[in-house]
Amino acid sequence: MMQIASSTCLFKPVGDWYLSCVVYVLVLSTIHALPITQNLIKFPTLLFSFILTLSLSLSLQKTEKMGGEGNQAAEGTVAEKVLADFDPLKKKPKRNKYAFACAILASMTSVLLGYDIGVMSGAAIYIQRQWKLSDFKIGLLMGSLNIYSLLGSAAAGRTSDWIGRRYTIVLAGAIFFVGALLMGFATNYAFLMVGRFVAGVGVGYALMVAPVYTAEVSPASSRGFLTSFPEVFINAGILLGYVSNYGFSKLRLNLGWRFMLGIGAVPSIFVGLVILAMPESPRWLVMQGRLGDAKRVLDRTSDSKEESELRLSDIKEAAGIPQECNDDFVSVPRSRHSHGEGVWKELLLRPSPAVRRILLAGVGIHFFQQSSGIDAVVLFSPRIFEKAGITNDNEKLLATVAVGFVKTMFILVATFFLDRLGRRPLLLSSVGGMIFSLAMLGTSLTIIDHTHHKLMWAVVLSILMVLSYVAFFSIGMGPITWVYSSEIFPLRLRAQGCSFGVAVNRVTSGVISTMFLPLSDAITTGGAFYLFAGIAIVAWIFFFTFLPETQGRTLEQMDDLFGEFRWRESNNKKSNNNNNNNKEEINDNVDGNGQIQLGATTGNTVFHAQT
């Protein structure tokens, strides 16, 4: 059997090369399918995709060749996996297609945020051109959505407890529908900001409730994979927004941007209709005393009858319902509902040393994710390409389509490799690549600013570095921020801790988006990216010295991990993973890869809001 395991390991590098080649071929075929006639856009995209897929393969092979004790442990894990595969009594459960479909439908609400971010990057060009707006007003228009979304997220918890998760998602689509129409029919800047406010509240609702619903519906075996769907759909929405910009840019000045913004009402209608076909969250049903309905939903979304009964038992215990109560309708003790006052005191006013480190780590990773400039690149990519020397509107918008495509492709790569390579290696590699990309982008833009004639190599380098930056962000910094912050907070503090991190994330994003254009005017666009590179360097140092590896850790180990963490010990990430008894006790909170999942412990949980 060990021979079988060894041969399986030998084929892994070949599989990694094969996957990388497939990714590259997909990039190649898609770029050639786009109506891009300028080699200026094609060349850097193709070259960049080849370099990144090649480096991915090399890093994966390097991981496979790591020797010593870690390699022996990996070989033993493979042998155990092979034995489990041949054991007829321990078959891996098939993926629950019903839960899979529910997760996809719920996560589609994240398209609303992504579309609004992507479409505004192009619409702002024509809005500013028609109404002669200042850069500060355009920045306020772009960044205000993130601040407004906090209001929706704050209200979504109580709303979802009141009317249910499913109807809250429908409400989010309806609010965004109204906001999109208001923006499309806006007659002046103030009217447009009102529409932006309404759309932002709808986005906040969607950001809050969709991940919670997905986590509550998903079976334990696939919860980690399914809860990553909102991240993928946000990036898909950004790409759709970029494509919409290009498609409507050929209309008249006073019509093009209205169609760009107004067409956002269409996906909200679709989302609102398909959500009605989904079941209600089993946890919400139990909290309403509807045990019969909850049991039927759990039977359809669980991998086995035993898991369905276990999930129902856990939910009943959390709700304060005695286990012997099995009627279809029961009364729920209201005394068990907590508003979290004691939790906030433990989290902010009197934290233990371990909780203080966890809070700093959670807030820090959220702050650095946005302060390193990702929203500046996503929202103002047409302006950046204009500074680089691309003055034609069609070429600028086509270049932004390439940005959205690369960002979406590499978030898919991160989704599949996050649990395999670990958090710290991906995060540190991602931020290192971002530092290089930001520094080179700042250099190329500075050279262009100080040159009176067009330098083709500098233009190509600028485009290539923008693509490089969003790709490095997507393979690490983007998704890991949400995974890491949901893992490190203990169960009793997780809802409020994640909420606090999301608030910091959105406020920082709003400030960066609002101030990017005035900052660029003050210190040049190249200087702004030098500043972002400096912030990314501080982020890398913070992550390296302060964030331990959490892969494979159980919930009970988090306090000890952060209480005793030293960065020199972080490489031995599996040294304390031999306590198998604890794993069985919290199986419902840990997925198959040992990733701690965010259960909706309260109605105020905020989980996911990444650009």
Q: What is the DSSP string of 527-539?
A: HHHHHHHHHHHHH
Distance of CA 513 to the CA centre of its chain: 18
3-state secondary structure of 290: strand
Task: Kindly state the greatest CA–CA separation across the chain.
Answer: 81
Rama region for 72: left / alpha / beta (φ>0; ψ in -120 to 50; rest)? alpha
Beta-bridge mates of residue 17: none
Phi, psi of 163 (to 5 degrees): -110, -5
Separation between Cα atoms, residue 522 and residue 99, nearest integer Å: 51
Residue 86: what pLDDT?
Answer: 39
Separation between Cα atoms, residue 418 and residue 422, nearest integer Å: 6
Which residue in 602, 597, 589 sits closest to 495, CA to CA?
602
Beta-bridge mates of residue 590: 596
Residue 365: what pLDDT?
Answer: 92
Residue 68: what pLDDT?
Answer: 40
DSSP-derived secondary structure letter, 351: -
Q: What is the DSSP string of 61-84?
A: HHHHT--THHHHHHHHHHHHHHHH
Are 115 and 267 in contact by the 8 Å Cβ rule? The answer is yes
Residue 470: what pLDDT?
Answer: 94
Q: What is the DSSP string of 492-507?
A: GGHHHHHHHHHHHHHH
Q: Which two tokens stand for residue 43?
A: 């060349």
Sequence letter at residue 327? D
Beta-bridge mates of residue 501: none
Residue 95: what pLDDT?
Answer: 65
pTM: 0.71
Q: 10 Å Cβ neighbour count for 90? A: 9
Mean pLDDT per 10-residue interval, the chain, length 611 residues: 38 41 44 42 46 44 40 41 40 69 83 87 91 89 88 81 87 91 93 93 83 77 67 86 90 90 87 83 86 88 84 79 80 56 74 84 91 91 87 87 90 75 86 95 92 87 94 88 76 70 86 91 93 96 86 60 58 42 40 37 40 46
DSSP-derived secondary structure letter, 323: T
Are 302 and 219 in contact by the 8 Å Cβ rule? The answer is yes
